[in-house]
Amino acid sequence: MTLGQAQAMAPRLRVRPDEPSRDRRFLARLADWALRFSPIVEPVEPDALLVDVTGCERLFGGEDRIAAQAVDGLRRQGVRARAAIADTVGAAWALATAGDQPASVAPPGHASAWLASLPPSALRIGPKTHEQLYALGVRSIGDLLMLPRELLPARFGPELPRRLAQALGEIHEPVAAHRPEQVAVERVRFETCVTENTHVQEAAGKLLAALVAQVVRQGQALRRLDCVLTFERVAAVRVVVRLSRGSQRVKHVEELLRRRLEVVDCSPGVIGILLSASETLAWRAAQAELFDARPAEQADALACLIDRIANRLGHDAVARVELIDDYQPELAYRYVSFVDGRSPPGAAAVAQAARVVSHPARPLRLLPRPIVVRAIAIFPDGPPTWLSYRGREHVVAAASGPERIETGWWRRQDVRRDYFRVTSETGEQFWVFRSLDDGGWYVHGVFS
């Protein structure tokens, strides 16, 4: 169904944009979490984890217990999931995706009996093959097993017999081990308690240099730094430094860290410091453009200034404007933190956001609110031929439009407008609209 139909059925429906890269990172974090059940875990996009628990079930009290603990652990993280354990990857996949139990365990050697009632789509076949099977009356894997196996490749291609053989254990299907991302960490433990703040800052600076060297060797750039100060008698203190974009400059990050450590009370006695590169980005040298309006030195200076302001005033104090897809022009943007934004600011991010908006050309200067003007139009639905804007009269020489914009009924106040791009005899271009509610004319923007 369309988004409008869904919102009509559920007015409180929460809508969020599809972000495959963010889902991919979340799935990788779940794979790291699943290493507690087995050292062999493979994340399968978009929403599955393959875990080889051979020999590990005895550590958790049996296969039933390990499957139930996995589902319960994901539920506590806000993830609804189904788990299945079987002799083969294909059988476990089918039971987990098409079964009706939160956790299923197929006894060894009985995979075909457990798969018989499931639909053929559970074998990880394409939708076209599933439609062909449905047209032939094959409603379950049990019906599929009744067909002559040697005739399947000629009728349905090689995928169906291969998936069926994998599910039955006739073809081995290994699980590729997932390697968790290595986080660069540096730590030091003092022989005696350190109460001087300057000594703590000096030690943290030396650790930071070693940490950034690790990050550079990995071909990464530091985006977030976590500093944990351990005390002897009080709770540990965590200091976080976020950067607007990835950086490999030790001096810049050290200055930010020192300013954050200046306000930490070290009088209880610091016994240890731990630095970790909690978030890093792939470091890629930027290619110079033919007409580069801003030298690289200025871009770095701006990033350093933003980092200093954000770490002093708060990460939400420095924001940038991001385009969003909204038909109402004055609402087609949002403010995103420069530091906490999902994508670093730059020409690439702006170009990506601009591609989302599929409307006709918008004026470079959009007025904060539409201004009422006097206008004359020959036809009721046609463009204006004359208008008076800010004390000046303009005769329209050319016009294009209309572009009708109507907001959804679920918004508090409906907006119904016909926009025109008009050019006066003096060469000025305005973005005007006629309100379909009261028939008045408004200027909403000026083209440069």
User: Residue 360: its pLDDT value, please?
Assistant: 61
Residue 38 backbone dihedrals phi, psi, to 5 degrees: -165, 150
Place of tokens 């799935």: 27
- Give CA–CA dist 373/217, Å, rounded: 62
User: Residue 357: its pLDDT value, please?
Assistant: 45
Q: Tell me the residue type at 376.
A: I
CB 116 within 8 A of CB 140: yes
Q: Which ranges constitute the DSSP H helices of 330-423?
A: 347-356
| Averaged pLDDT, 367-373 | 90
Domain range annotation of the chain = 18-167, 185-282, 319-356, 365-447
Listed in order, strand segments (DSSP E) in 363-412 are 365-377, 384-389, 392-406
Residue with the bigger pLDDT between 356 and 331: it is 331
* Number of Cα atoms under 13 Å in the Cβ half of residue 289: 7
User: Residue 189: its pLDDT value, please?
Assistant: 93
Quote the percentage of the chain above a pLDDT of 70.
Answer: 89
Residue 243: band (very low, low, confident or very high) from pLDDT cuts 50, 70, 90:
confident
- Give CA–CA dist 384/380, Å, rounded: 10
Pick from 79-88, 372-381, 409-418: least confident: 409-418
Q: How far is CA 261 from the centre of its chain?
A: 31
SS3 percent helix, strand, coil of the chain, rounded to 5, is: 35, 30, 35
* pLDDT at position 286 over 70: no
| Averaged pLDDT, 332-361 | 56
Tens digit of each residue's pLDDT (9 = 90 or more) over 64-95: 899 999 999 999 999 999 999 999 999 999 99
* pLDDT at position 139 over 60: yes
**Sign of the dihedral through C-alpha 289, 290, 293, 299:** positive
User: Residue 340: its pLDDT value, please?
Assistant: 62
* pLDDT at position 60 over 80: yes
CATH class label, 185-282: alpha beta
Pick from 137-141, 186-190, 263-267, 331-335: least confident: 331-335
* pLDDT at position 240 over 80: yes
- Give CA–CA dist 298/440, Å, rounded: 47
Pick from 15-29, 113-127, 265-279, 359-373: least confident: 359-373
Tens digit of each residue's pLDDT (9 = 90 or more) over 202-239: 999 999 999 999 999 888 888 889 999 999 889 999 99
Residue 244: band (very low, low, confident or very high) from pLDDT cuts 50, 70, 90:
confident
User: Residue 343: its pLDDT value, please?
Assistant: 47
| Averaged pLDDT, 307-314 | 74
Residue 365 backbone dihedrals phi, psi, to 5 degrees: -115, 110
Q: Which ranges constitute the DSSP H helices of 86-158?
A: 89-98, 111-115, 127-135, 141-145, 152-156
Pick from 157-171, 227-241, 317-331, 378-392: least confident: 317-331
CB 434 within 8 A of CB 403: no
E strand or H helix at 226: strand 220-231
Burial bucket for residue 95 (CB in 10 Å: 0-12, 13-18, 19+): buried
Quote the DSSP letter at residue 57. Answer: G
Pick from 35-44, 191-200, 290-299, 317-326: least confident: 290-299
For residues 31, 36, 40 and 42, what is the CA-based torsion angle, rounded to 10 degrees? -10
CB 346 within 8 A of CB 286: no
User: Residue 320: its pLDDT value, please?
Assistant: 77
Burial bucket for residue 155 (CB in 10 Å: 0-12, 13-18, 19+): middle
Place of tokens 């303009």: 394
* pLDDT at position 315 over 80: no
- Give CA–CA dist 254/184, Å, rounded: 16
